[in-house]
């Protein structure tokens, strides 16, 4: 089979931890062909089909030259057996435009994972609104007054932008309210931008758990991102330590409930962020942590993903 990965530049991959790289490696190990492009390489012209300036590659198993490019064709997306959208956030206008091109490719016959419409319909922070039974007290607003009332009620809160990633722009405000006004001004831009506010969860000291769900089924292990030092952020990009752990019964129940609902919508792979027993985000764009979980537990997450992908594609 022939797979196209729409991702960030290959030259920027940190292969020791990159999940898209792990997917490619498993696909090649099974004898599939691998190609890659960036969203900027997608194009459409009236009277034609969605195409990509793609890079056909072979993985070498060596560092730093982990791949060799064997060809660079311009090819219709519908000619691939599967197109995997793995572009990292931010979920900005260009990302949305890319999903529209991918959705047009679907109309032409391409198989795209995760489904472009589902990516647009489930922004990673706002997707939790569908699952209030699994979330901590949360507020989504532009209003200064609403934020201040939420702080007065809960006393210890987390504020974050809706388009952040890797822990960027996350603030904690305790009972003293120190710097709350300045933080609100920074995040909501004078009421021009919407902000998410959540009650602070002290269980964060045990880690922000990334629970992967593939084809509606939870992976048996999660990766707890444990904040280090005086940092409150459970993000690997912010210096948190990743510790793989078996799922708790609560984690599994939550992941099964959400996964069973989202998989039929075209979300083959999702990543839940769970602090304690509360879901704080539902990651759908390019969920990560495959390699960390595999290295620490021996559970081959890439193989689980490839199995699910091939099952959807009808590979026996």
- Specify the residue for token string 């949305």: 96
Q: pLDDT digit of tens for each residue in the chain (316 aa)? A: 999 999 999 999 999 999 999 999 999 999 999 999 999 999 999 999 999 999 999 999 999 999 999 999 999 999 999 999 999 988 899 999 999 999 999 999 999 999 999 999 999 999 999 999 999 999 999 999 999 999 999 999 999 999 877 778 899 999 999 999 999 999 999 999 999 999 999 999 999 999 999 999 999 999 999 988 877 777 777 788 999 999 999 999 999 999 999 999 999 999 999 999 999 999 999 999 999 999 999 999 999 999 999 999 998 6
Domain parsing of the chain, residue ranges: 2-114, 137-200, 203-313
Active site residue 160: yes
Active site residue 230: no
Continuous H helices in the chain: 19-29, 93-107, 116-121, 144-154, 180-188, 249-262, 290-297, 301-313
Considering the segment(s) 137-200 as one domain, its CATH architecture is 2-Layer Sandwich (3.30)
Quote helix, strand, coil % in the chain, to nearest 5: 35, 25, 35
From 114, 188, 235, 283, active-site residue: 283
- Beta-bridged to residue 138, according to DSSP, are 198
SS3 of 250, please? helix
Active site residue 114: no
From 87, 111, 125, 199, active-site residue: 125
> Which pair of structure tokens corresponds to residue 181?
């006004």
Active site residue 283: yes
Q: For the domain 2-114, what is the CATH code? A: 3.40.50.20
From 18, 106, 273, 292, active-site residue: 273
Active site residue 300: no
- Written out in words, the top-level CATH class of the domain with range 203-313 is alpha beta
């Amino acid at each position: 089979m022939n797979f196209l990965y729409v991702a960030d530049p290959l030259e920027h991959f940190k292969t020791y931890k990159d999940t898209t790289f792990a997917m490619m490696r498993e696909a090649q190990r099974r004898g599939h062909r691998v190609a890659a492009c960036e969203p900027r390489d997608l194009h459409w012209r009236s009277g034609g089909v969605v195409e990509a300036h793609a890079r056909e590659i072979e993985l070498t198993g060596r560092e730093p030259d982990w791949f060799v490019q064997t060809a660079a064709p311009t090819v219709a997306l519908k000619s691939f057996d599967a197109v995997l959208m793995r572009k990292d956030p931010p979920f900005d206008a260009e990302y949305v435009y890319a999903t529209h091109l991918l959705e047009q490719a679907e109309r032409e016959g391409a198989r795209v994972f995760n489904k472009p419409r589902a990516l647009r319909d489930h922004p990673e922070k706002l997707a939790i609104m569908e699952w209030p039974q699994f979330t901590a007290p949360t507020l989504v607003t532009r209003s200064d007054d609403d934020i201040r009332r939420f702080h007065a009620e809960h006393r210890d809160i987390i504020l974050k932008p809706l388009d952040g990633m890797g822990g960027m722009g996350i603030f904690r405000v305790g009972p003293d309210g120190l710097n709350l006004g300045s933080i609100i001004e920074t995040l909501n831009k004078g009421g021009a931008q919407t902000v998410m506010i959540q009650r602070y969860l002290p269980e964060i000291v045990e880690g922000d758990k990334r629970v992967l769900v593939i084809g509606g089924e939870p992976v048996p292990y999660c990766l707890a991102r444990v904040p280090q030092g005086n940092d409150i952020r459970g993000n690997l990009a912010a210096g948190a330590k990743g510790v793989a752990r078996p799922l708790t019964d609560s984690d599994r129940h939550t992941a099964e409930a959400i996964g069973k609902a989202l998989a039929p919508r075209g979300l083959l792979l999702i990543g839940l962020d769970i602090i304690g027993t509360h879901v704080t985000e539902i990651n759908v764009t390019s969920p990560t942590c495959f390699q960390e979980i595999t290295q620490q537990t021996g559970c081959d997450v890439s193989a689980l993903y490839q199995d699910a992908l091939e099952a959807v594609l009808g590979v026996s």
